[in-house]
Structure 1
Amino acid sequence: MNDNLNEATALARNAPSMPEAVDRATFHAQVDELRAREKAHTREGDAIAAARRRLPMVEVDPTTELIGPDGPVSLLETFEGRRQLLAYYFMWRDGRPAAEQCEGCTWCGGQISELSYLHSRDITYAVFCQGPYQESRRYRDFMGWDMPWYSAKASLGTLLAGQEGSMQLVSYLRDGERVFETYWTTGRGVEAMDYSLALMDLTVYGRQHPGEDSPPGWPQAWREESPTEYWRIDGRPLSQWSRIEAGRSDDLTTAP
């Protein structure tokens, strides 16, 4: 019993701060005030998307080679006959086990499941991995993903044209057999792929990342090896643990 009381006391002392409790009328008044800002933010997002649709484009060699499940394919073929293509450039660490692969790219990849909505708008989504095909494809299988997966390692200089960066998302448009790049983003720009962060932002404690603008006493301890590794726990990307518990091997250098 004393141990339980000591544990409860410790939890109480370490409990994060909480917002002020008010009556419902005061609560609704402040939510309504925030809602006006949210609506303005949404309208500004619509305006930015409208501007994005008016950007110029640059032509890309449609014969640029990638490696897929059946060997070499052209950039044009990765459209799968659709008019548009969204390609996520997955970072890769050659020869390393699953635990050492990019936690940010793993987070992005885990958000992609239902592709039919994209397909309904004539959009193909695919991963263009920056590593070798067989090794990186084993990572896709280890994670249990089923999105189209290609290696772009040999053609990164052509495809990214000096824009190489972490967690990069690129939009392409096909006109017959010609291919054009219409937009690209990297870093926090790829949060467009995610729903977890958007939902976290609706909660009182937010993302709980160090440096997040929160009141004093709010939890901000979600970090491990470095302040940017928000998606790791106990030495590996956190979504990998369920795969390990299911008995999957994270050795990517040999076939299962």
Structure 2
Amino acid sequence: MNIVDRATFEAELDQLRAREKAHTREGDAIAAARRRLPVVEVDASLTLVGPDGPTTLLAAFEGRSQLIAFYFMWHHASSAADVCEGCTFYTGQVRELSILHSRDATFAVLCQGPYAESRRYRDFMGWDMPWYSAQESAAELLAGRQVGMFYLVCYVRKGERVFETYSTSGRGVEAMDNSYGLLDLSRFGRQEPWENSPDGSPQEWGNESGNPHPYRVGGRPIAQWTRLSAGHMDPLTQD
């Protein structure tokens, strides 16, 4: 660490803040361009399965004009430990939906597995966001994308017609995250090997051989341990 006096520290910080402001303004410009993208129509009647059985993509809007959908990967898990750790990491950080609702937007998880066992996982995790199975319609909903990967997809409706307006790829799902955003402000960052960090910084979280998985500890997604200690049941299938 380079230890300096307060004045030197503030001067360096001001230089960085100028870069951060430019980054923020560029992000605003990208968001403005995103709002002007063309749209593609999606069959509003495509089948989802929810708590009351089969329903439609249109119904998942819950009467609002916009739908922000997270496509949750699924490995036909028989226990919670087998569920996608990345999907768990991101989904678990979407908690308070009232601000979205005030802007006439609904958030929902569209799981790419069967409803019954994936809903049991939602309950295991203590989540309360709207949850559907998109298994039957995933290939059509994700046209041009690889089924089985996770995505954020945004929709708007005009009456009973539905249009896709945007979707993420790669790290775009970090829009759901706050943990990494906070860690990015800290001295050690995410502590993952791909980061450009000063020599000597801890970087033990990653996928390289011998290093712990960034989203798993002890063979299961990190967030699950508190659920187990609270007595939640691990099996997701029923006899």
**Normalised by the shorter chain, which TM-score bucket?**
over 0.9
Q: 1:234 aligned to 218, 228, 239, which one?
A: 218
Pairwise CA distance, 1:95:
3.6
Regions of 4+ moved over 3 Å: 223-229
Which residue matches 1:25? Answer: 7
Report the identity percentage.
Answer: 64
TM-score of the superposition, structure 1-length normalised? 0.90
**Residues 225, 20 of structure 1: alpha-carbon distance in 2 compared, 3 angstrom cutoff:** closer
TM-score of the superposition, structure 2-length normalised? 0.96
Pairwise CA distance, 1:224:
6.3
Contact 1:224 1:233 in 2 (8 A): no
One-letter amino acid of the structure 1 residue matched with residue 235 of structure 2: D
Alignment partner of 1:187 is 2:170: yes
Which residue matches 1:93? Answer: 75
How far apart, CA to CA, are the structure 1 residues paired with 2:213 and 2:165?
30
- Paired residues in the alignment total 237
Q: Deviations over 1:206-241 (max 9, x none)?
A: 000112100111000013686793111111100000
Which residue matches 1:82? Answer: 64
Which residue matches 2:93? Answer: 111
How far apart, CA to CA, are the structure 2 residues paired with 1:132 and 1:179?
24
Alignment partner of 1:174 is 2:157: yes
Greater C-alpha radius of gyration: 1
Q: Name which of structure 1's ranges 221-230 and 207-216 shifts more when overlaid on structure 2.
A: 221-230
One-letter amino acid of the structure 1 residue matched with residue 194 of structure 2: G
How far apart, CA to CA, are the structure 2 residues paired with 1:32 and 1:76?
48
What is the Cα-based RMSD across aligned positions, in Å? 1.5
Pairwise CA distance, 1:250:
1.2
One-letter amino acid of the structure 2 residue matched with residue 220 of structure 1: Q
How far apart, CA to CA, are the structure 2 residues paired with 1:190 and 1:75?
21
**Residues 250, 224 of structure 1: alpha-carbon distance in 2 compared, 3 angstrom cutoff:** farther
Contact 1:91 1:130 in 2 (8 A): yes
Contact 1:59 1:181 in 2 (8 A): yes
Alignment partner of 1:243 is 2:214: no
How far apart, CA to CA, are the structure 1 residues paired with 2:134 and 2:208?
29
**Residues 213, 224 of structure 1: alpha-carbon distance in 2 compared, 3 angstrom cutoff:** closer
Q: 5+ unaligned residues in a row in structure 1: which ranges?
A: 1-18
Which residue matches 2:24? Answer: 42
Which residue matches 2:84? Answer: 102
Pairwise CA distance, 1:85:
0.2
How far apart, CA to CA, are the structure 2 residues paired with 1:112 and 1:59?
27
How far apart, CA to CA, are the structure 2 residues paired with 1:202 and 1:48?
22
Q: 5+ unaligned residues in a row in structure 2: which ranges?
A: none
Which residue matches 2:42? Answer: 60
